[in-house]
Structure 1
Amino acid sequence: MNENKIIIFDTTLRDGEQALASSLSMEQKLRIAKQLARLNVDVIEAGFPVSSPGDFESVSTISKEVRGPAVCGLARAVEKDITACGEALKGAKRPRIHTFIGTSQIHTEKKLRKSEDDILQLVKKSVEFARNYTDDVEFSAEDAGRTGKDFLCRVVETAIKAGAGTINIPDTVGYTVPEHFASIMDLIFERVPNVGDAVISVHCHDDLGMSTANSLTAIAHGARQVECTINGIGERAGNAALEEIVMALKVRKDLFNVYTDIETSELMRTSKLIRDICNMPVQPNKAIVGSNAFAHSSGIHQDGVLKAKTTYEIMTPQSVGLKDNKMNLTSRSGSHMVKSRLASLGYEEADYTLSDFYTKFKNLADKKGTVYDDDLITLMESKSSEDLEDRYVLDYLNVSSGKKTVPTATARIVIDGEVKQEAACGDGAVDAATKAIDRIVGFDIEIEGYHLDSVTQGREALGRVAITASAPEGHFVGNGTSTDIVEASAFAYMDIINKIARMKMFNKKIPPKIDISL
């Protein structure tokens, strides 16, 4: 192996799944494993076969159907665990058994109640037993971050001598800081005589928010495998995030002088798959894959990016699988950004006076927060304040739904003073409400995205709904807020209805796609 190659060991399906409210199905795990193969990870830790029949089946199925990465199963330093791993991995082209035992004093004395000599014997026996199933055996010294230095070195030496080709040094409880972790790595390379016969790996948790920093520090001090998860999901505060480590090594290659084989353009797609299947939302400001990771709102930043993207972007959106960055139009946006967006919508400088339009823009931005392209067109095409008023007003909404009940909705809308009312059934309460509204207005609308956030806390929290939809007039974004989710959804849909009405009045289409990244 090239000494500058960093092996990416993905444990999303094992450590990551442990953080979920419910286990993933075999089909879900297989979908994730196939995407990890497209991402080109080196090792997929597919599960803990002895833990349940479902986990055994998942590891076995992934072993048979996924090619490319090595497929790994986890096992305690117990023969029945290792046997289960060996059986589950029979179909793998490149099987790996990952066995572990606690080595810190608190683990050996409180949990295992064994002496150091007993632990060393178990390390030796478990690795040797695993070698009966595969030559690719990894050993982990659980809670290495709190293990005594002398004993940790003895454990590593014993595992390598027994035949482990990879030695993992995990910061199991996220206890270490970079300087401390660096000293552990240096100690192993300096004092373990056979350390050159194995790849040293790290597995860091984020309890103190330093999992990525500790992992990168370990790489800088000689580690050549890093264990991580997509979006950083995992036990408690999570694991080191794969996307953060990979992009840090790529962007700062001048500092680390190492590389991975990860297909980074698949990072965003993989992140979204994990988000959706695992029902684990990604915070907007999450590094690399958060919805705001390539978004610019400050007028100063937007001006810089318009002149040269590298002023505020250290990596390209395309490098992680995005089409482009996102320029949020808010009250903080400068006139230069507004002018640029108007030009992209087909408006020339002769069509408006920038200072006057910018004043109108700022007033609208102060009122609604984010201004979308359809809002800009409305401002450009409106001749008076009346043009900005809602033509369609939701006057009444009643929805009935529940178990063994067909969801139905009755809506009453006031249109230019005229009252119209319709009822409809749907697949759910929101679907019934939007269908009833559709029957009244008669617009051709297709909902493409739906997103719900809690604005406040408590049982009576305000819900904020954002809907993206397409129509012959273009793509639109609607927002609505209420303590009732269905009502908030109806308000958001009515927001879209009124935007389409203005487009019809102005007879001007907006561009084919607005990137709002719900």
Structure 2
Amino acid sequence: MSFDHRKYQPFPVIDKPDRRWPSQRIEKAPLWAAVDLRDGNQALIKPMSVAQKRRFFQMLVELGFKEIEVGFPSASQIDFDFCRALIEEDLVPDDVHIQVLTQARQDLIARTFESLKGAKNAIVHIYNATSPTFREQVFCVDKAGCKAIAERAAGWVKEEAAKQPETHWSFQYSPETFSATETDFAIEVIDAVNNVWRPDQGQRVIINLPATVEVSTPNVFADQVELVHENIQYRDDVIISVHTHDDRGCGVAAAEMAVMAGADRVEGTLLGNGERTGNMDLVTAGMNLYSQGIDPEIDFSRMKDIVALVEEITDIQTHPRHPYAGDLVFSAFSGSHQDAIRKCLARYQEGDIWNVAYLPIDPADVGRRYEEVVRINSQSGKGGVAHVLERDFGIDLPRWLQQELAGVVQKDAEEDGGEITSERVHRRFNSDYLNVPMGWALRSYDLNRNNDQVQAQISIGDDSQAVTLLSGRGDGAMSALVEALNRQIGSEVKVVSFDEYSLGDNTEANAMACVRVQIGDSVQSAVATAADTTAAALQAILSAVGRLEEGSERQLIIENG
């Protein structure tokens, strides 16, 4: 097997020391042209039916696209029929231009105009390949012959359009393989076409510059576009468009840099479907603008609906890490990521400028739920575990207990090797910390203060068991209970950590207490909720001691039963 890099050579850079595009900013959305129904369709194993095209077209209209390439009617009967259906059934809004592609041949151009009869607004897009590879090896023509093909086709388009004056026509020309063409020759061909169409006399003209195959880094493509922008005739009267592909994985970057270099319009497909590695992705390009505070003028708020329809019609699954649209792009499994997201979301207020760690946009803007953001697996830490408990169950834990619970959950995830749901985290929290051991439920308490001391009478036990009475004295209710337990079990009980919280009005309990108790070398944490903070604190201590006693040979002395 050969893997020999020497058969390839780098694409030449462009000597343009006066390039201006690197210092430019994109401040408004370009014109968008969706080519899913033509370029995207021809890349499918099973091309779309007329019914599928109709559904896809309707979605593109609803999203806000004003220029939609609907097919190649001179080459496909399905495309021809679809084009006729759109026009005859009046499915094209008045502000939408339908676009069709045709090769630079007279009979195909005539057939194309036949498919558009009666259209309100239509774009006729002609092309011929201009690069040395195509001139020399595919069509066997010199530069003059290549330019003549484009000039003749431009003339035929102008003649056919004159026969249907009721339609508002736009003419579009692509020097196919522009990115691999000598830029000065591409400009020469473009000028020849424009001299036929005369955009300076009112004809709407689009000059489309395709990276038919992406052959260079995106900065080189931007240089090529800037050269066209600066040097073609009638520049103020034409729309410069770009049509990039993703062979090098830089289709969006090339299109963005091209806009910085002077392009007015961008062609692409939703989610990047297209031949080989795909077309420029309209979702990514549009949402990139959105993330910078620029209105993309396309509504991507129902991202899941877009993905679902594209997947259904193209039979191509969206990668879970696809920018903005993938199932996992807003999901954080890493503990440090989760902790940062949780802290930022806690500070974010509606109306603030979005500034949340690891989330370039607010997931809610594209119809995603915050429940999808932090997800738990073996890589997660205390921040993620705390976040899902707080987000889904309203449980706020102290840092020390977050760390302890995270270790428990992480062990479960490592054993299972997969994701742990928030419901499972909650069940583990309940079983390990909130459940009351048998015989250790707080039944009642009575506190009497005498000077600086509190005398506590506390009864514990379950309904089916005898009640245990504990009596102790201390600075407060907790210290009184600890004193009573020290005496009753014959070992020193220490409360090494304690936090208490007031709960919201929508919960049955009003207070929650979290404790960590030590007896000898053994440590146990517990949580309790109750109607008041004192009851919650007493129950949490009892639960922690009860769990420690379950594994001990010590027996609680029953004073009264």
The reply to whether TM is greater than 0.5 is yes
Question: Superposition pairs for residues 346-361 of structure 1, below 5 Å?
Answer: 346=393, 348=395, 354-361=402-409
Q: How far off its partner does 1:82 sit?
A: 1.8
Call closer, same or farther: CA 1:143–1:350 in 2, change over 3 Å. closer
Q: Hey, what's the Cα distance between the residues in 2 that align with 1:234 and 1:59?
A: 21
Q: How far off its partner does 1:382 sit?
A: 4.4
Q: Hey, what's the Cα distance between the residues in 2 that align with 1:123 and 1:244?
A: 33
Q: Residue 136 of structure 1 aligns to a residue in which SS?
A: strand
Q: Residue 184 of structure 1 aligns to a residue in which SS?
A: helix
Call closer, same or farther: CA 1:276–1:303 in 2, change over 3 Å. same
Deviations 1:311-359 (A, max 9, x none): 2212122333334452111122222321232234436458995455333
Question: Superposition pairs for residues 314-333 of structure 1, below 5 Å?
Answer: 314-324=360-370, 325-333=372-380
**Structural RMSD (CA):** 2.5
Which residue of the partner structure matches residue 151 of structure 2? 124
Q: Hey, what's the Cα distance between the residues in 2 that align with 1:112 and 1:267?
A: 43
> Does 2:262 match 1:215?
no
Which residue of the partner structure matches residue 176 of structure 2? 142
Give the number of equivalent residue pairs.
379
Call closer, same or farther: CA 1:357–1:66 in 2, change over 3 Å. same
Q: Hey, what's the Cα distance between the residues in 1 that align with 2:59 and 2:28?
A: 25
Q: How far off its partner does 1:100 sit?
A: 0.6
Return the letter of the residue paired with 1:379.
R
Question: Superposition pairs for residues 9-48 of structure 1, below 5 Å?
Answer: 9-48=33-72
Q: Residue 85 of structure 2 aligns to a residue in which SS?
A: helix
Q: Residue 16 of structure 1 aligns to a residue in which SS?
A: helix
Which residue of the partner structure matches residue 212 of structure 2? 172
Call closer, same or farther: CA 1:268–1:89 in 2, change over 3 Å. farther
Q: Hey, what's the Cα distance between the residues in 2 that align with 1:160 and 1:57?
A: 31
Q: How far off its partner does 1:109 sit?
A: 2.2
Which residue of the partner structure matches residue 134 of structure 2? 107
Q: Hey, what's the Cα distance between the residues in 1 that align with 2:374 and 2:300?
A: 23
Q: Residue 98 of structure 2 aligns to a residue in which SS?
A: strand
> Does 2:119 match 1:92?
yes
> Does 2:187 match 1:161?
no
Identify the match of residue 313 of structure 1 among 359, 368, 371.
359
Q: Residue 74 of structure 2 aligns to a residue in which SS?
A: helix
Indicate conservation of the 8 Å contact 1:153/1:188, yes or no.
Answer: yes
Indicate conservation of the 8 Å contact 2:383/2:402, yes or no.
Answer: no
Identify the match of residue 387 of structure 2 among 316, 340, 351.
340
Which residue of the partner structure matches residue 315 of structure 2? 279
Which residue of the partner structure matches residue 74 of structure 1? 101
Q: Hey, what's the Cα distance between the residues in 2 that align with 1:266 and 1:111?
A: 44
Q: Residue 393 of structure 2 aligns to a residue in which SS?
A: coil
Deviations 1:88-134 (A, max 9, x none): 22343321111111111111222222232222222222223223335
Q: How far off its partner does 1:383 sit?
A: 7.3
Call closer, same or farther: CA 1:123–1:357 in 2, change over 3 Å. same
> Does 2:88 match 1:55?
no
Q: Hey, what's the Cα distance between the residues in 1 that align with 2:43 and 2:72?
A: 14
Deviations 1:422-466 (A, max 9, x none): xxxxxxxxxxxxxxxxxxxxxxxxxxxxxxxxxxxxxxxxxxxxx
Return the letter of the residue paired with 1:11.
V
Q: Hey, what's the Cα distance between the residues in 1 that align with 2:86 and 2:414?
A: 52
Identify the match of residue 340 of structure 2 among 283, 291, 304.
304
Deviations 1:161-187 (A, max 9, x none): 222600001010111222211221121
Indicate conservation of the 8 Å contact 1:268/1:321, yes or no.
Answer: yes
Q: Hey, what's the Cα distance between the residues in 2 that align with 1:360 and 1:4?
A: 50
Call closer, same or farther: CA 1:139–1:21 in 2, change over 3 Å. same
Call closer, same or farther: CA 1:208–1:56 in 2, change over 3 Å. same
Question: What are structure 1's unaligned runs of at least 5 residues?
Answer: 385-518
Question: Superposition pairs for residues 389-404 of structure 1, below 5 Å?
Answer: none
Select between 120-129 and 214-223 the one with higher mean Cα deviation: 120-129
> Does 2:396 match 1:362?
no
Q: How far off its partner does 1:36 sit?
A: 0.6
Which residue of the partner structure matches residue 181 of structure 1? 221
Q: Hey, what's the Cα distance between the residues in 2 that align with 1:347 and 1:306?
A: 14
Q: Residue 240 of structure 2 aligns to a residue in which SS?
A: strand
Question: What are structure 2's unaligned runs of at least 5 residues?
Answer: 1-26, 162-167, 198-203, 346-355, 434-561
Which residue of the partner structure matches residue 497 of structure 1? none
> Does 2:303 match 1:229?
no
Return the letter of the residue paired with 2:307.
S
Select between 54-63 and 7-16 the one with higher mean Cα deviation: 54-63
Indicate conservation of the 8 Å contact 1:212/1:244, yes or no.
Answer: yes
Select between 36-45 and 188-197 the one with higher mean Cα deviation: 188-197
Call closer, same or farther: CA 1:4–1:199 in 2, change over 3 Å. farther
Call closer, same or farther: CA 1:345–1:206 in 2, change over 3 Å. closer
Q: How far off its partner does 1:87 sit?
A: 2.1
Indicate conservation of the 8 Å contact 1:205/1:239, yes or no.
Answer: yes
Q: Hey, what's the Cα distance between the residues in 1 that align with 2:277 and 2:253?
A: 15
Q: How far off its partner does 1:4 sit?
A: 4.9
Q: How far off its partner does 1:75 sit?
A: 0.4
Q: How far off its partner does 1:267 sit?
A: 4.1
Identify the match of residue 424 of structure 2 among 366, 371, 375.
375
> Does 2:257 match 1:204?
no
Q: How far off its partner does 1:28 sit?
A: 0.8
Call closer, same or farther: CA 1:118–1:321 in 2, change over 3 Å. farther
Question: Superposition pairs for residues 498-517 of structure 1, below 5 Å?
Answer: none
Return the letter of the residue paired with 1:50.
S
Q: Residue 41 of structure 2 aligns to a residue in which SS?
A: helix
Select between 302-311 and 46-55 the one with higher mean Cα deviation: 302-311
Which residue of the partner structure matches residue 501 of structure 1? none
Call closer, same or farther: CA 1:330–1:135 in 2, change over 3 Å. same
Q: Hey, what's the Cα distance between the residues in 1 that align with 2:219 and 2:394?
A: 56
Return the letter of the residue paired with 2:381.
G
Q: Hey, what's the Cα distance between the residues in 1 that align with 2:373 and 2:316?
A: 23
Call closer, same or farther: CA 1:361–1:5 in 2, change over 3 Å. closer
Call closer, same or farther: CA 1:367–1:159 in 2, change over 3 Å. farther
Deviations 1:21-58 (A, max 9, x none): 11111111111111111111121111111222112112
Q: How far off its partner does 1:223 sit?
A: 0.1
Call closer, same or farther: CA 1:248–1:347 in 2, change over 3 Å. closer
Question: Superposition pairs for residues 238-249 of structure 1, below 5 Å?
Answer: 238-249=278-289
Q: Residue 248 of structure 1 aligns to a residue in which SS?
A: helix
Q: Hey, what's the Cα distance between the residues in 1 that align with 2:190 and 2:303?
A: 33
Call closer, same or farther: CA 1:349–1:205 in 2, change over 3 Å. closer
Q: Hey, what's the Cα distance between the residues in 1 that align with 2:183 and 2:406?
A: 64
> Does 2:91 match 1:65?
yes
